[in-house]
Amino acid sequence: METASFILLGGGLLFKRIASLLLLVALGLVVAGAASDAPSLASYPVVVTAATFVLAALTVVPIILRPLPEGAAPTASHPGRRGHQLRLVAFCAIWILYAALLNALGFVLASSLAMIASLWVVTGRFRPVASLAAVVFVLTLAVLVTTILFVPVPKKQVDHLIDETIFTLMGN
């Protein structure tokens, strides 16, 4: 019973271990998918996803390897811990949903919605200026991807409209 309440009430380090392990597994699957889709292991998607995996591993492996405290039990002195964990789960769910909806919505719309939702979850309230900044960031990234990096991203109506506008302005 004590172990169950330790896990259910937010056993701190145990929760971080599980979340860290899930992050590494998810990133490992992303790297494997990028490697299987790419013509070369030196291609942009493989290099970026592999670098993300390595940096995440360097960050979370110490958390995973840290020993659990003996007889530690959750206390009522940390009432915000549960809310923090719920926000973390919601944040992860947003980005999993983003990956699932990316092909259906296109890069710009899916990325903008995911960034706005992430900001909302992290800050605890809707912030119009931060949301506008997130959309401007995504649009800037979309222009960069289209005109300089030539990285293929899922495109739908909004993405095609942006591409047409960019190439019209560039005179191509």
CA angle, 12 then 18 then 19, to 5°: 85
Q: What pLDDT is recorded for position 63?
A: 79
Give the pair of three-digit tokens for residue 45: 């998607």
pLDDT tens digits, residue range 111-170? 999 999 999 998 889 999 999 999 999 999 888 888 887 877 889 999 899 888 888 888
On the question of pLDDT at 3 being above 70, the answer is: no
- Cut 0.75: pTM above it: no
Largest Cα–Cα separation, the chain: 69
Is residue 38 predicted with pLDDT exceeding 90?
A: no
Domain ranges of the chain: 1-78, 79-172
Task: State the sign of the Cα–Cα–Cα–Cα dihedral 138, 143, 148, 150.
Answer: positive
Q: Nearest to residue 114, comparing CAs of 147, 137, 80? A: 137
Q: Return the closest-CA partner of residue 82 out of 137, 1, 8, 151.
A: 8
Residue of 74 and 146 predicted with greater confidence: 146
Specify the pLDDT at position 9: 42
Query: Does residue 105 register a pLDDT over 90?
Result: yes
Q: What pLDDT, in 10s, does the model give residues 78-95? A: 556 777 788 888 888 898
39 — pLDDT class (breaks 50, 70, 90): confident
Dist CA 119 CA 27 (whole Å):
21
Confidence of residue 6 (pLDDT cuts 50, 70, 90): very low
In percent, the amount of the chain with pLDDT more than 70 equals 84
Report the pLDDT averaged over residues 32-41: 79
Task: State the pLDDT at residue 5.
Answer: 42
Average pLDDT for the chain: 81
